[in-house]
A and B are shown apart, each in its own frame.
Chain A
C-alpha cells in the first residue's frame, strides 16, 4: 500500500542492525584474544596485516593517477563505492556497519523513536506535469496533524508561507520539524476543495508508535501488533494491556510479522509480560564479550491465557528473541513462516567526527541454547537480505523446550505451525503498486466528503472504482475484477475508513479479514493445550 512508501527504504538495514545496541566508549582496547576459538590470530598477525594496509594506502596517496579523496577511499561513499572500512566489515558479516555523520544522526533519531514535529508520514507524488509534489500519506493516530484534520492524499502546498514546489519530500519533512511548542503554518490542496486549506499546527514530541494495534479482535481475544522495538514499546504495551483489561483477555494473538527488531531491553520487557518471574529470556556471548543472561523482569502474575505469536520472513532480531523465548518456555504457539534469522549483538562504538562503528560483538541464543543467526558465509549480501537460499536450513542444534518438544536453531525461529505466505496475484499487485486504492480514496472523498464508520462499498462504489481505474493506467478486465471482487471491496473499505477514522480503524478491518489471524484464532485451543502439556511434563520431571 502507499502507506508503506514513506518508510524510508534506506533504513531497513539500520533497523536490522539495531538488535541490542550496547554503548561503549571509544577506548581503544588493545587486541586481546581469549582462549576460546580455534588457533586465534596472534597480535603480530594483526599488526602485520595492518602494516600491509598502511603500505598500500601510502602508495595510493602518493602515486594514484588522479587526485585522491581520502574520505572516499577510507570510508566509502554511497552504496556503490565501498571503501576500506566497509570493505573490511563486509568480510565479517552482513550486520557490522560503519556510519558516517549523516547516517549516524538518522540512526539515533530512529532509535530514540521520537522527534518534534506534526506527526505525519509524507511522500512524493508525481503531478500531471510530471514533476514531483509532496502529499500526506498518513497522519499518525493521535498526532497534532491527525487532530488538526489533515487527511491522506492532501497535497502540501506551502509550509510557513514557503512554496513546496521544487522541494523533495525530505526537504518538506525538514520544514515540518522544529522546536517543541512552535507553530507551523501549513496550506494543503485537497481533491474536491477549490481553495487551499490552511492549518496551524503546534509541534509536539512525536513518538513513533511501536505497538500499532491493540484491540479485541473477538470478545475476549486480544490482537496486539508490535512493529518495532523502540524506547516506548514496553510502556505502550503496558498501557494497551491496561486499557483492554488483562482480566478480560482469554486469548491473545501477538503479531510480530514484519517486525525487524530494535532494542534488546524492550524485547526482554515485552517477553516478561507473558513469562513467569526468573525465567531466562535470552543470553549472548562473544569472543571478547562475556556471557550475559537476561531474565524476566516482573513477570506474569495472573492466569496464563493462551498466546499465539505470528511471524514471517521479516520477523528479525529483537522480535525473534521474544518469539524464541515464548516458544522455548512453551508459552506460545508460533504460527506463520520461518523468521529472518538475525541473532547478532551489535555494539555501538561512537568515534570522533560523529561517526560510529556498529560492530557485531556477540551472538544471541534462545533460553534452550539455539543460535538464532542464519548462515551468511558464501552468500552475497543481496541474497542474504532477500532471503534467497538454496534450501531449508539444516536442522541442527536440536534443543528441548520446557515442555519437552524438539526445536532447532541456526536459522531463525521455525514456526510450530507453518502457514505459507499468501502472495498477491498480478491484478492485486498492480492495484496496490499503482496506489489505486489510495488515489481512489482521495477522488471519492472529494465528492462524497465522508463515509460512515461501518461503510461497506456497494455496487455503485465498485462501479465508480472500475470507472476510475483508467485514470491510474490500470487496465483490468471484467472477469479479473469479478475474480478479485472481495479483495477490491475490502481495500476500498480499509482506505476510506482509515482516511476518515484513522489508521487503527482501517487496521481493524484488515486484521479481521486476515486469514492468518483467523487461523490463529482457530488454533487458540492448541495454544491452551501447549500450556497444559508443559505443566504436565514439568511436573513429571519433578519441578
Chain B
C-alpha cells in the first residue's frame, strides 16, 4: 500500500488548486456604482433581478436565497454566482464567509487542529485504517503524547471505520481552543488509549524537507507558497551554506502554488539583481513586472528543479523564471499550466471573491495557462495525459534555448515515474510489503537507516509470498527487482523509524531525486553556456 503521507489539514484540495492567488487584495467593494456598467450589462443585470424576484415570489416550495445565489456548500458549478463564474474560467471562485476564512488561514499556512500527519496503514484485520505518520514538533498532538504508528480508531467517540483520510482529517480540525478526543490503538497496549487534545492554530511549514543529500549537495522541497515560505527558505539555505553548498535539488513537485510575492522572493534568491521574474496584465489591470531584488553572489551553484503535473501557479512562476534565465535545469513532467492572476476581493458580510484579473507570463514571454475552453471543470483538473496542442508558440531562454508557451512548463529532461506492472499491483493489493516489513522487523534487530535489502532479503520475500499464497514467478521477481527492493526498504524503514526521519529517507531513495543529483553537472553546463551566449551577443 503506497499511501503517500497526507496532511491532516489537506481538506480542500480543489479549493487549494483553484485558490492559487495573486498577492493582490482588492479594496473592499463598496456599494452600487451602476454608472460604471455598460448598458447591456446593466440591462442583463435588471433581467437577472426580475427573474430572481419571480423565483422568490413563485417557487413551489420554500427556498433558501443563499443557496440560490451562492450555491450549496462546496459546489463550484451551481448557484447564480458560481454559475456566472463558470462561464469565465476554472479558477475564478466565490467563497462564502466560512470558506473564505479557511482560505485566509490556508494562505497564512495555518489551520486550527491538532497538528499531525496521518496516512492509511494496515489494521489488525488487514483493513486500511487511519494511522498517525508523525505529530508536528511542538504541536498539541505531540504534547498530548500521540506517536507515529498509532492507529486512530475513534474521534470524539465516532468510529473511523470505513472513513477516508479527508473525513478523519476534517473530524480532527475544528474551532480554536475546542477539545477533540482521539482514541488510538498502539502496539504493545491491549486496550485503546484515549487522548484529549486542545485544538490550536497550527503553523505548517512551507518547506517540509531540507537536508544535505550528499556532501555539498542540498535538497529542498517546497510544499506551497504561503506567507512564511521565503523566510523558511532563507533559513534553510543559510544552514546549507554552512555546509559549503555546491549544488541544489529544488523539488516543486505537488506544489499547487500560493502567493505570488513569495514566489518572486524565492526565485529572487537564485537570480541576479534586476533579472525579470514574471509579469502580468489584464483588461483592467495594467502590466506589472517583478524583478529579482538582490544578487546571487556566492549563490551560483547548479540547480535542478523537479516538477510534475501537480506543480502549478506560483511554483510554475519560479520554474519558468529559472528556466528562462538558464539558471536551473528542469526535470520531471510537464507542469499543470495555471497562469491566471486572481485578485481576492473582500465582499460585504465577509464573503470573498477570487477573480481572474490578469494573465502571467514568464520572462521570455510564455503564457503559462493551459487552454480550458470547452472543458468541464472535472476534465480541466484531471487532464493528466491530455496531449498539448501540436503547434505551440516558441520562445527563447537567455542562453538561446527553445521553450514553449501555452501549457505549463515543459521540463528540459522528461522523467516519468515508472508504471506499475500487473505483478506490482498484485503485491500492493495483497499488502505484501506491509506484512513482510512487519514480519521482517520483528525478526531483525538493529536495522540502520542505510538498510539495503540484499539477495538474502529477496529470498526471504519469495518464501513469504509462497506462504501467503501470492503467486509469483522467478521472472516476476527478477523483472520487478528494483521496485521490490525499493518498496521493502521503504516499508521496513518506516516501520523502524517512522516520523520525520522516514520522510528524509524516502526522499533520499527517490529515483527521481537521485537522477536529479546526477544531472547537476548538466545544470552547471547550462548556466555557463548561457553566460557565454549572453556574453557573445553582448560583444556583437
Contact = CB atoms under 8 A, between A and B. Distances in A.
B263 to A, nearest CB: 19
Given A41-B65, A65-B282, A72-B87, A56 B94 contact: yes
20 contacts: A28-B53, A29-B57, A31-B53, A31-B57, A48-B65, A50-B65, A56-B81, A65-B357, A68-B41, A74-B44, A82-B82, A83-B83, A85-B48, A90-B78, A91-B72, A91-B79, A92-B59, A360-B60, A363-B60, A363-B61
Interface string B36-62: 111011001101111111111111111
B99 to A, nearest CB: 14
A26 B58 CA distance: 12
Contacts of A118: none
A40 B59 contact: no
A46 B67 CA distance: 11
B382 to A, nearest CB: 16
Contacts of B72: 91
Contacts of B40: 70-71
Given A64-B283, A70-B41, A77-B87, A288 B66 contact: no
Given A62-B36, A63-B357, A286 B84 contact: no
A68 B355 contact: no
B283 A347 contact: no
Interface stretch (B135-143, B346-354, B498-506, B531-539): B346-354
Nearest to A85: B51
A348 B358 CA distance: 41
Given A52-B70, A288-B58, A359-B54, A84 B83 contact: yes
A76 B80 CA distance: 11
A357 B52 contact: no
A152 to B, nearest CB: 36
Contact of B71 (A62, A87, A349): A87
A362 B348 CA distance: 34
Given A55-B347, A58-B33, A45 B66 contact: yes
Contacts of B284: 62-64
Contacts, number: 241
Interface in B316-368: 340-341, 343, 345, 347-349, 351, 353, 355-359
Given A58-B36, A88-B68, A287 B59 contact: yes
A83 B86 CA distance: 7
A421 to B, nearest CB: 31
Contacts of B68: 49, 88, 91-92
B353 A357 contact: no
A289 B60 CA distance: 7
B32 interface: yes
B473 to A, nearest CB: 36
Given A49-B69, A63-B355, A84 B80 contact: yes
Contacts of A72: 87
B128 to A, nearest CB: 24
A75 interface: yes
Which of A32, A77, A80 has the most B CB atoms < 10 Å from its CB?
A80
B77 to A, nearest CB: 6
A37 B60 CA distance: 10
Which of B34, B69, B340 has the most chain A CB within a 10 Å cutoff? Answer: B69
How many chain B residues sit at the interface, stated as a range, is: 35 or more
Given A80-B374, A82-B86, A51 B79 contact: no
B76 to A, nearest CB: 10
Contacts of B376: 80
Q: Which of B33, B54, B340 has the most A CB atoms < 10 Å from its CB? A: B54
A246 B171 CA distance: 69
B47 A351 contact: yes
A179 interface: no
Given A70-B40, A75-B44, A85-B48, A359 B55 contact: yes
Contacts of A92: 55, 59, 63, 68
B26 interface: yes
B29 interface: yes
Interface in A179-201: none
Interface of B: 26, 29, 32-34, 36-38, 40-41, 44-45, 47-72, 77-88, 92, 94, 282-285, 340-341, 343, 345, 347-349, 351, 353, 355-359, 374, 376
Contact of A45 (B54, B65, B78): B65
Kindly state the interface size class of chain A when it binds its partner: 35 or more
Contacts of A362: 60
Contacts of B85: 56, 60
The 9 closest A-B pairs by CB, nearest first: A87-B83, A37-B62, A65-B282, A29-B57, A286-B60, A49-B65, A88-B80, A84-B84, A31-B56
A359 B63 contact: no
A357 B69 contact: no
Nearest to B67: A91
Contacts of B64: 41
Interface in A15-60: 26, 28-33, 37-41, 45-46, 48-60
A496 to B, nearest CB: 44
Nearest to B42: A70
Contacts of B69: 49-50, 52-53, 88
Nearest to A66: B283
Nearest to B57: A29
Nearest to A36: B62
A462 B54 CA distance: 61
Contacts of B283: 63-67
Contacts of A55: 29, 347-348
Given A63-B26, A90-B83, A52 B55 contact: no
B37 A349 contact: no
A53 B87 CA distance: 15
Contacts of B63: 41, 92
Interface in A60-119: 60-68, 70-77, 80-92, 96, 98
Given A89-B55, A91-B71, A349-B58, 16 more contacts: A31-B56, A45-B65, A49-B65, A53-B69, A57-B41, A57-B48, A62-B36, A63-B285, A64-B282, A64-B284, A64-B355, A81-B87, A82-B87, A87-B81, A88-B83, A357-B51
Contact of B84 (A29, A56, A62, A63): A56
Contact of B37 (A61, A89, A91): A61
Nearest to B49: A50
Between A55, A57, A98, A347, the greatest number of chain B beta carbons within 10 A of the residue's beta carbon is seen for A55
Contacts of B358: 65
Contacts of A397: none
B54 A352 contact: no
Contacts of B374: 80
B117 to A, nearest CB: 32
A70 B276 CA distance: 36
A85 B341 CA distance: 26
Contacts of A84: 48, 80-81, 83-84
A513 B36 CA distance: 68
A361 interface: yes
